[in-house]
Amino acid sequence: MTTPRFGIEQLTLSYFRCYDSLSLVLDRELPPVVLSGSNGAGKTNVLEAISFLVPGRGLRNAHLADISYRIGMPDVVSLPHAWTVSARVRTPDGVCQIGTGKAEQRRQIRIDGQNIKSQDELGKTLSILWLTPAFDRIFNGDPATRRRFLDRLVQSFLPSYAHITTEYAYAFKQWMSLLCAGKTDPAWLTALEQQIAQNGVAIAAARVDVVDRLNVLLEQAPETDFPRAQIFLKGAVEDFVRSHSALQAETYFADLLAKSRHLVSDGGHACGPHTADLSVLNLNKNTDAALCSTGEQKALLLSIIFAQTQALMKEKGQCPLLLLDEGLSHLDAHRQGALFELILSLPSQVWLTGVDEKAFAPLENKAEFFCIDNAKAYRAVA
């Protein structure tokens, strides 16, 4: 018998998206899990449910209310049920039971039967990274998607990050609303600017820290089928924190906001970590990722995710679970083979989805296969 991986031993969903209920009991050694099935069968919903076992709004960045199992339009049929996700998880610190769901408009969390107030506790227990089709051609799309990708990496390193970003967004929204409504009470605006600056600098510093760590690992990465990469982080506050203390950066950012008041009142934008961006250089080709093909861009993201996995193992002794939705899409046969090898070498569980079970044939006898059909899971014989 081999050493079991870290990951989910049992997963139960109720009233989650298309599932009124679902229970998966996984092989005790926690090999990779393959979910196959046609479009709309419910594969991504399972991965999304797992993504709620860590802080944040899951892999679809969803509103809690949209997740509850529902039939018909929201105003036609509204079901009273609240969704829940429950999992028995094997971590380096032992086995624990995590439960989460929506109760009274808020997310409720339980670890080993205890109600937990802060989502940070989830991040200390488990870390999860994911790659979904929403990240396809990420380097040509909206900067918000690149920030989401980066923020997930940072979140896996810093459990309190989701909390900091929520506080930042909340204060920023209040500040914008005041200015847009023509309210110019300087004391009120200044207090909000200080709050935004404090959280904004914490965000920028955490991003810089994670990108720097990743760049070291990416540069040292051995020659594989996944390209070596270098990440460039671009943002006024991110640039400033590199060469100044946190206190200096907070003053700088608060001043920047104060100077932007007129601009925002006139319908303009203020810059900050919410406008930062990242670009990636494909070191194997010395080419900007934005000029790379869809498959090459995906391979670069996988390089970054595997580097982050290494960083987490090295510095925290924690190996994140990986959720690779449509994990094989856009990759050539060679890279798909390399991906299988990498997945099998990891000490934690990897969840993969795809429409065609046959594409996962190299994982035969090395992975668990489930066929998802119309919101039901059937154990498939690979």
Ligand X SMILES: Nc1ncnc2c1ncn2[C@@H]1O[C@H](COP(=O)(O)OP(=O)(O)O)[C@@H](O)[C@H]1O
Minimum Å gap between C-beta 48 and ligand X is 7
Q: Are 61 and 148 in contact (CB under 8 A)?
A: yes
Tell me how many residues contact Mg ion (CB under 5 A): 2
Footprint (CB under 5 A) of Mg ion, residues 224-283: none
Distance of CA 130 to the CA centre of its chain: 6
Which CB, 238 or 325, lies closer to Mg ion? 325
Which CB, 44 or 51, lies closer to Mg ion? 44
Q: Which does 189 bind (CB under 5 to 8 A by kind): ligand X, Mg ion, none?
A: none
Minimum Å gap between C-beta 132 and Mg ion is 8
Minimum Å gap between C-beta 18 and ligand X is 3
Minimum Å gap between C-beta 373 and Mg ion is 14
Q: Which does 327 bind (CB under 5 to 8 A by kind): ligand X, Mg ion, none?
A: none
Q: Which does 206 bind (CB under 5 to 8 A by kind): ligand X, Mg ion, none?
A: none
**Spatial separation of the C-alpha atoms in residues 156 and 346, rounded to whole Å:** 17
Minimum Å gap between C-beta 134 and Mg ion is 10
Instruction: Please return the burial class of 186, using the count of CB atoms within 10 Å of its CB with bins 0-12, 13-18 and 19+.
Output: exposed
Q: Which does 19 bind (CB under 5 to 8 A by kind): ligand X, Mg ion, none?
A: none
Minimum Å gap between C-beta 352 and Mg ion is 12
The pair of structure tokens assigned to 337 is 């083979």
Minimum Å gap between C-beta 361 and ligand X is 20
Q: Which of 22, 32, 37, 44 binds Mg ion (CB under 5 A)?
A: 44
**Spatial separation of the C-alpha atoms in residues 195 and 354, rounded to whole Å:** 44
Binding site for ligand X (CB under 6 A): 17-18, 37, 39-45, 66-70
Minimum Å gap between C-beta 43 and ligand X is 4
Q: How many helices (H) and strands (E) does the chain have?
A: 11, 15
36 near Mg ion, rule: CB under 5 A = no
Nearest C-alpha neighbor of 292 from the set 329, 343, 330: 330
Q: Which does 37 bind (CB under 5 to 8 A by kind): ligand X, Mg ion, none?
A: ligand X
Minimum Å gap between C-beta 298 and Mg ion is 15
The pair of structure tokens assigned to 131 is 């790659």
Which CB, 71 or 263, lies closer to ligand X? 71
E strand or H helix that includes residue 123: helix 120-125
Q: Are 130 and 59 in contact (CB under 8 A)?
A: yes
Scan for tokens 């997945």, then name that residue: 343
Q: How far is CA 152 from CA 21, 112, 132, 148, 315, in A?
A: 28, 25, 12, 6, 17
Cβ neighbours of 182 (radius 10 Å) = 7
Q: Which does 315 bind (CB under 5 to 8 A by kind): ligand X, Mg ion, none?
A: none
Which CB, 43 or 102, lies closer to Mg ion? 43
Which CB, 35 or 202, lies closer to ligand X? 35
Which CB, 87 or 229, lies closer to ligand X? 87
Which CB, 179 or 367, lies closer to ligand X? 367
**Spatial separation of the C-alpha atoms in residues 338 and 299, rounded to whole Å:** 11
Which CB, 44 or 260, lies closer to ligand X? 44
Q: Which does 39 bind (CB under 5 to 8 A by kind): ligand X, Mg ion, none?
A: ligand X
Helix, strand or coil for residue 305?
A: helix
User: How is 41-77 classified by DSSP, letter by letter?
Assistant: SSHHHHHHHHHTTSSSSTTTT--HHHHB---S-TTT-
Q: How far is CA 6 from CA 2, 46, 114, 152, 247, in A?
A: 12, 18, 22, 20, 40
Which CB, 149 or 157, lies closer to Mg ion? 149
Q: Which does 356 bind (CB under 5 to 8 A by kind): ligand X, Mg ion, none?
A: none
Choices 42-50, 92-100, 180-188, 264-272 (CB under 5 A): range interacting with Mg ion: 42-50
- Paired with 316 in beta bridges are none
Q: What does the binding site for Mg ion look like in residue numbers (CB under 5 A)?
A: 43-44
